[in-house]
Amino acid sequence: MAVIELPANLKLLRPGMGIRTTSRATREPVAPIVSRAELLERLETIGELAPNGPLSYLLVRIEGLDSSYSGGLSPRQVMGMMGMRIISLTRPTDTVGDYSGNAFGIVLQGTGATAAGAVAARISFHLMQLGEGLGVATRPLVYAATGTGINADLLPMAAIDSLDDCS
C-alpha cells in the first residue's frame, strides 16, 4: 500500500476525497469533477484553514465548442474529455470543478503566482494537444488569480476579471 504524505500546509478536505488514481493501462483519471457550488465551497474552506497560505485559482475557458463537432463528438463530450485531462494534470490537493458550460475552475491549494503560471501553461498546452488530437477546433484559455487564503472569496472574480481584460 502506498502512503501519501502531504506538506503541512496542504490538507485534504475529506478523507479519500481528492486522491486521484489512474489506470496504468489507459492513464485515464477516475475522479469526478465537482460542481460549481462544491468548488467554491472548497475554495472558501481552504481559505479558512490557511488564511496566510498561498492560494491560487485558475479559470479554464474552452472557446469554439459550437464549431467543434467532429468525429461525432458533442460539445459535452469534448468538455468531459478536457475535464478528465485537467484532473490528470493536477495534484490530489487541487480541486477541479465545472464552473460553467464551457469553463472549469481549479483551486490550487498552497500554490503561489509562479507555480500557478506554470500549471496554467501546462494545462493550456495539454488541452490544445487534446483538441488537435480529437480533431476539434477548440481553443483553451487559462486565467489565474493568486493570493492568500484570507482573500479566497475574491480569487474567482479576479480570474474572471483577467479573462474579460484579455478577451
Tell whether 21 is covered by a domain: no
Tell whether 4 is covered by a domain: no
Domain span at 99: 36-166
Rounded to an integer, what distance in angstroms lies between the CA atom of residue 84 and that of residue 96? Answer: 9
Indicate the number of domains in the chain: 1
Check pLDDT > 90 for residue 68: no
Q: What is the CB neighbour count within 10 angstroms for residue 157? A: 12
Query: In this structure, what CATH number is given to the domain that contains residue 75?
Result: 3.30.70.270
Check pLDDT > 50 for residue 17: no
Looking at residue 166, its pLDDT comes to: 47
Tell whether 90 is covered by a domain: yes
The three cell numbers of residue 19 are 486522491
Looking at residue 164, its pLDDT comes to: 53
Where does residue 110 fall: left (phi above 0), alpha (psi -120 to 50 degrees), or beta otherwise?
left
Tell whether 115 is covered by a domain: yes
pLDDT tens for 112-140 read 999 999 999 999 999 999 988 888 888 89
